[in-house]
Structure 1
């Protein structure tokens, strides 16, 4: 923070900025690789929705990640970051016919969400003389239960994702679908993300691994060769504990011994657990006041860059750190404060009644653990511009910053609503 202030990255003209720990990404990537036994064939595909900034995706690729995409936009960003088709997995639940055909023609791995999508793939395969080099699977909803945040749980009885495994007649229909399609060689499961216990995720993977063995037996061959097990490792937003990749992997392999024995190739799709701890946002305190006896700090940290926390604070609590105007940890007396944002609605708070060294006008409020799903995917409320994003690393005791996304100007905001944003304006940081 001190280096950022000295470099002029946080001042009255730029009161909000985001930062990404480039060395932290490298260390996280190494921890994820080391969590899985060396004898297993495991590919880690970063979930692009967690942080879709092209320079970030490019950095992750440099550390050995593939990329999982859930829309045509994320696919285009991943390709711009340098990922090859063989390094990509396409998982959208609402793929158009054109998106399916483009992915299969390029050789991008694809997981079909439902039987109607399989029929679209059938049509492509019937027309394509050379077929496809894509790894194709079906997403299964094992219906093993919900986690602590229902909106993040995708293995409930009524989930919108995948083919339900336990509905009447569904299991037999899945097995038949694989028996009739020799090109179906993969199977996919993703039980959910934040709030999901490793035990529930392990049970979901075990259920699909058992299904894969049943399919292979019915086909009298090793039809399913790989299982895409998704992501789902919960992040500790209220403390500094790093994601426990090793324990998560152990829980999955204990629940699904077929994977531990190397009977299937494995793809993972971690996102939040890779990037959350490697990013933070910082804002100058614009004003302070007292309301109802409680201190309130008005900052530029609001729903536009912390959407989930503002609208669902119980599910998405964030820590707040206090720094003085020079970027040094505040030495003020701790008091209870609301940390409010700039958006024009009463619920625009990133922390309520939060114990923190008293913030004063011109001080800096920091919210850690926001490298995923926060500043990288802003909410277009009140037409507030997107902040600059800087990568940083410490070299020989000196903090060095790299611009990853330029700050959006008011002119950019107006141009977008006029439909006049240029390709150059959107790709400048890349």
Structure 2
């Protein structure tokens, strides 16, 4: 049974205030997301403190984790840059006011038009492969650019416990495989022939990847930069983009392992990163946002099937896609609340927490021990500040819920800011062709 921690008390205070203000209400607003903006500021500050002042660092928020433009504006105000992986995310970053030099463009499938836009704006670009390097070279042959340009390498250090979140395996789709025959020579030749190629990028993985594995991948990346500079006899590589990937604790309110622990591992595995010889870019997203968000949904019906109690709620795969389709890799904690938002008490009953979608696998939790739920109760899905609001699943044409930013005033008053309006039926019809 989860303890009523300070974080749990804060969530309950936010939920009860949201109910009083009818941000979540029966028949009106059956589902809503909440992002604790004070918590986000604390997480960003923890990241910034973790890296020493002796190195130049741009912390670029990974927009894929939650690209809502007002939230990106908030992060910009906290001193973050922005990492984008599509033309859409680039447009969102620009709409949020990020200057081009604060934006990093990563994608394994950048089109010529997307590269041209990034180079003309001066957005940093990390090429994913040799063909993309050639494409960038062709574009730069006829125009100048202020973009920082790097190449993504795959240090091939192996996988964590979740294959889909491990991007430095021997056969990963990302980057240039460092250990494959001939690739080191081709990379050295590329840096020698292209004076505009001055950065290197690596991202080992995220959830399920232990800190030492991530740090080992960055160590190989730093060693690669040192080798390029030594072979070329000049400081060709001046910056290293170390990606993100800090895993999140889905079992409790703990924020461990924490950015400071990760930086300690980097000091152990890649001390040259901290000599001041290289500028650094980070790309954290999941670890900055997940713990600072939750999703609240009403229970519509309850039933029993095969002696198993089931609560049918309005939160399913449309807001927690990863959890529904990969429950072992992306579990979510669930708390039970009465219609006022107060935490429910009573003996725990093993029950399924089901979503509203019309397929049998639409389950948020299986046989989860919670106080017995009844229609009109509310479930809160915890740790949903990342990915749940940015990866909607449109099966059954369910509308996307409103998302609110939350600030707690000094006298414990709760203030809400709309980050995304709830999608209307008219919006859905327009999106589907009329």
Both proteins in one fold, TM over 0.5: yes
> What's the TM-score once normalised by structure 1's chain length?
0.96
**Residue pairs, 1:48-197, within 5 angstroms:** 48-128=63-143, 131-197=144-210
Structure 1 runs, 4 residues or longer, greater than 4 Å off: none
**1:196 & 1:274 partners in 2: Cα distance?**
16
Partner of 1:425: none
Q: Give ranges in structure 2 of 5+ residues lacking alignment.
A: 1-14
Match of 2:271 among 243, 249, 257: 257
Match status 1:393 vs 2:407: yes
- In the TM superposition, what is the alpha-carbon distance from 1:333 to its structure 2 partner? 2.2
Q: Give ranges in structure 1 of 5+ residues lacking alignment.
A: 421-430
CA RMSD of aligned residues (A): 0.8
- In the TM superposition, what is the alpha-carbon distance from 1:94 to its structure 2 partner? 0.3
Match of 1:271 among 285, 299, 306: 285
- 1:254, 1:260 within 8 Å by CA — same for their partners in 2? no
- 1:179, 1:218 within 8 Å by CA — same for their partners in 2? no
Match of 1:236 among 249, 252, 266: 249
Q: Which secondary structure state, in structure 2, belongs to the residue aligned with residue 315 of structure 1?
A: coil
**2:130 & 2:186 partners in 1: Cα distance?**
9
**1:315 & 1:397 partners in 2: Cα distance?**
36
Match status 1:362 vs 2:376: yes
How many residue pairs match? The answer is: 417
Partner of 2:21: 7
- 1:320, 1:365 within 8 Å by CA — same for their partners in 2? yes
Match of 1:281 among 295, 308, 322: 295
**2:43 & 2:307 partners in 1: Cα distance?**
43
Q: Which secondary structure state, in structure 2, belongs to the residue aligned with residue 161 of structure 1?
A: coil
**Cα-to-partner distance string for 1:18-56 (whole Å, 9 max, x where unaligned):** 001010011001000011111111110000000011011
Q: Which secondary structure state, in structure 1, belongs to the residue aligned with residue 141 of structure 2?
A: helix
Q: Which secondary structure state, in structure 2, belongs to the residue aligned with residue 382 of structure 1?
A: helix
- In the TM superposition, what is the alpha-carbon distance from 1:377 to its structure 2 partner? 2.1
**2:337 & 2:419 partners in 1: Cα distance?**
24
Q: Which secondary structure state, in structure 1, belongs to the residue aligned with residue 395 of structure 2?
A: coil
- In the TM superposition, what is the alpha-carbon distance from 1:293 to its structure 2 partner? 1.1
Match of 1:383 among 365, 373, 397: 397
Match status 1:338 vs 2:338: no
Partner of 1:218: 231
- 1:301, 1:342 within 8 Å by CA — same for their partners in 2? yes
Partner of 2:424: 409
> What's the TM-score once normalised by structure 2's chain length?
0.95
